[in-house]
Amino acid sequence: MDKAADTAGFAFENRYARLPERFYTRLDPTPVEKPGLVRVNAALAHDLGLDPAALASPDGIAILAGNRVPEGAAPLAQAYAGHQFGGWVPQLGDGRAILLGEVTDRAGRPRDIQLKGAGRTPYSRMGDGRAWIGPVIREYVVSEAMHALGVPTTRALAAVTTGEPVYREGAFPGAVLTRVAASHVRVGTFQYFAARGDTEALQTLTDFVIARHYPALAEAGTPALALLGAVTERQARLIARWMGVGFIHGVMNTDNMTLSGETIDYGPCAFMDAYHPDKVFSSIDQFGRYAYRNQPQIAVWNLAQLATCLLPLIDADQDKAIETATETINRFGDHYMDAWRDVFRAKLGLAEAREDDAELAQNLLSRMAEGRADFTLTFRRLSELGDDPEADDPVRALFADPALFDGWAARWRQRLAMEQSAPDARRAAMRAANPAFIPRNHRVEQAIEAAVAGDYAPFETLVEVLSAPFEEQPAHAAYQDPPAPGEEVRQTFCGT
């Protein structure tokens, strides 16, 4: 494949490509028939030091589709393994993604540039290595929404069509997503080498992750143990943020947990409308393993798999290694609850920490579940309430039995009376913690359906609205609304 002139401004470093070759397979993306631009994320391109106009040019589109490799890139598919729904798979890897290389953004941070849907690789496992427009639209919309919500996440640089059909339950337009990540190293990457008894590769991978994401840990007495602790804390904070916006990942497999602490792989993900802790959307999660309420426990389970991989690097005495690793993993609960309390205190307008705050938040959630109240609207409308219960109707109306809210609101106002902040300041802080707009499942599906028919206007509008989730947007007020009867999306699907 020809190298493309570097008109977009890629300045690759490619440190992952300098690791031993058993970490990946070098190969170019598979060219497509007729690439076409859907969208370039101009703001992200600028942050990466790239030229958005050049990316949107024919040469740029050829790069984004995989038809040309930019100068300086070192394309490869990464090897990894993983537990999928608890079942061990010894070899997974990038089955439809090609890592073009690594660039440094304007803030000095290394960022991976990956094409998702770029064709078959040695890890495709009978798959076609392609993506259709639906999952590409979903990942673009949801990952960029998560970024705007302040949740650590991979991001979408661009989406292009391929001019070729992709066959799933029918024929759909093919597409490629350009994904940007702090890195693509996963728990499953460590599992791949641990399962092979390759301690040398585990050490190399540990050194790489520490240098890339946690450089201060290089001087720790036991760097592998320090890494486990840092990843545990970062994942605890991440999951707390998910819980605070009503997000359900849907496939929390070990190959979908990054060492960087970013949300990755937006397959059958969803945001809740009506709140319930047992909510599941993923069509492949038949037993609710990855239900909303289970996400913290699953994170611990995944981290335990990482700990198992790191044991040889923690201590030569396996019993001591297990003991210290277990102690480290057990700190997840405290890290998570500290982060969860911070998230929900902010959502309730509580600037000062008090002992019963978690119980106050949990009590509201229980009443929301019983009253089938909308998660996002309940907290957003709560942000507008003052001291007068007579003005509570916008929130009360969200509950099947408004008395459920009334009983809680009295306690909430008693708690607010203990705060020092002025009411206007509190309301402003709550609006900054409680989004008005989330990627409502029915809106995402509408954008996908339109895109399949070649109409990208709903997608563009949705991306625009979700870029400012905490702001009032009168022209787009309808995007706050839950689905009308007949619009509710009960299941979401993986794109493979």
- Are 447 and 137 in contact by the 8 Å Cβ rule? The answer is yes
Q: Which residues contact 478 (CB under 8 A, 6 or more apart)?
A: none
15 CB neighbour count, 10 Å cutoff: 15
Query: What span, in angstroms and rounded, lies between the C-alpha atoms of 185 and 259?
Result: 6
Query: What span, in angstroms and rounded, lies between the C-alpha atoms of 118 and 139?
Result: 15
State the residue for tokens 């689905």. Answer: 483
263 CB neighbour count, 10 Å cutoff: 24
Percent of the residues in the chain that have a pLDDT greater than 90, as a whole number: 92
Per residue in 63-108, pLDDT (tens digit) is 999 999 999 999 999 999 999 999 999 999 999 999 999 999 999 9
Query: What span, in angstroms and rounded, lies between the C-alpha atoms of 325 and 348?
Result: 36
By C-alpha distance, which of 339, 324, 269 is closest to 495? 269
Instruction: With cut-offs at 50, 70 and 90, classify the pLDDT of residue 202.
Output: very high
Per residue in 221-272, pLDDT (tens digit) is 999 999 999 999 999 999 999 999 999 999 999 999 999 999 999 999 999 9
Return mean pLDDT, the chain. Answer: 96
Which residues sit opposite 180 in a β-bridge?
A: 113, 155
Query: What span, in angstroms and rounded, lies between the C-alpha atoms of 356 and 103?
Result: 46
Helix, strand, or coil here: 239? helix
Instruction: Verify whether residue 2 is a known catalytic residue.
Output: no
Q: Which of 28, 51, 112, 255 is catalytic?
A: 255
By C-alpha distance, which of 263, 292, 261, 260 is closest to 275? 292
* Cα pseudo-dihedral 460, 461, 464, 470, rounded to 10: -150
How does DSSP assign 38-97, residue by residue? EEE-HHHHHHTT--HHHHTSHHHHHHHHTSSEETT---EEE---EEETTEEES----SSE
Q: What is the pLDDT of residue 9?
A: 87
Per residue in 468-483, pLDDT (tens digit) is 999 999 999 999 999 9
Query: What span, in angstroms and rounded, lies between the C-alpha atoms of 9 and 275?
Result: 45
Tell me what the mean pLDDT of segment 197-201 comes to. 98
Which structure tokens are listed for 83?
A: 């537990």
